[in-house]
């Protein structure tokens, strides 16, 4: 069996300047428009009241021209646990390292119809008005396309 193509995902955050997170991910798809990565969860995690279990699959969609990315959590039986949209930008991708900047606001959606807009309170009070507007516009784009973006 061939070893999957791997990349490193590096996340920086508007809400936590100077804080960086790094994840080793397997690549499911590379196109000119996006990269799709996946990994198996190694521990249980509670995502705003949604239990995610070790062994569940996380699929991350990173578009190079969209102001958000998407994590899709899939249970071991193939059903969806949740979709989690991060408002943010891919800042660079060199083929082996994907860097993106999290702009704080997130949208959580579940198959049951639950939709939560998260972390708007993490936007700095002194945030540039143009950036704040861009973040809110991106939030509205995701909400407006949610049915399409979450269709399996």
**pLDDT score at 152:** 60
Mean pLDDT score across all residues of the chain: 95
Spatial CA neighbour of 29 closest among 65, 51, 61, 75: 61
Return phi, psi of residue 137, to 5°: -65, -40
pLDDT exceeds 80 at position 2: no
Q: Is residue 26 part of a domain?
A: yes
Number of compact structural domains in the chain? 1
Q: Give the mean pLDDT of 71-97.
A: 96
Q: Is residue 61 part of a domain?
A: yes
8 Å CB contact between 45 and 36: no
- pLDDT tens by residue, 4-21: 699 999 999 999 999 999
Burial label for 107, CB within 10 Å (0-12, 13-18, 19+), is: buried
Is the alpha carbon torsion for 20, 138, 108, 9 positive or negative?
negative
Q: pTM value?
A: 0.93
Q: Give the mean pLDDT of 73-79.
A: 97
Within 1-152, residue ranges assigned H as helices are 129-144, 146-149
**pLDDT score at 4:** 61
- pLDDT tens by residue, 26-67: 999 999 999 999 999 999 999 999 999 999 999 999 999 999
Q: Is residue 1 part of a domain?
A: no
**pLDDT score at 1:** 43
Q: What is the CATH number of the domain that holds 57?
A: 2.40.380.10
**pLDDT score at 38:** 95
Q: Which domain holds residue 83?
A: 6-149
């Amino acid at each position: 069996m061939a070893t999957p193509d791997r990349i490193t995902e590096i996340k920086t955050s508007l809400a936590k300047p100077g804080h960086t997170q790094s994840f080793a991910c397997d690549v499911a798809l590379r196109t000119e428009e996006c990269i799709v990565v996946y990994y198996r969860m190694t521990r249980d995690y509670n995502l705003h009241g949604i239990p995610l279990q070790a062994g569940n699959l996380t699929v991350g969609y990173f578009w190079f021209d969209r102001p958000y990315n998407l994590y899709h959590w899939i249970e071991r039986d193939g059903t969806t646990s949740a979709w989690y949209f991060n408002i943010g930008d891919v800042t660079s991708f060199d083929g082996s390292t994907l860097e993106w900047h999290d702009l704080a606001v997130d949208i959580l959606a579940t198959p049951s119809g639950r939709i939560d807009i998260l972390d708007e309170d993490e936007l700095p009070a002194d945030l540039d008005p143009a950036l704040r507007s861009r973040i809110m516009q991106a939030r509205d784009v995701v909400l407006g396309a949610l049915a399409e973006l979450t269709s399996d």
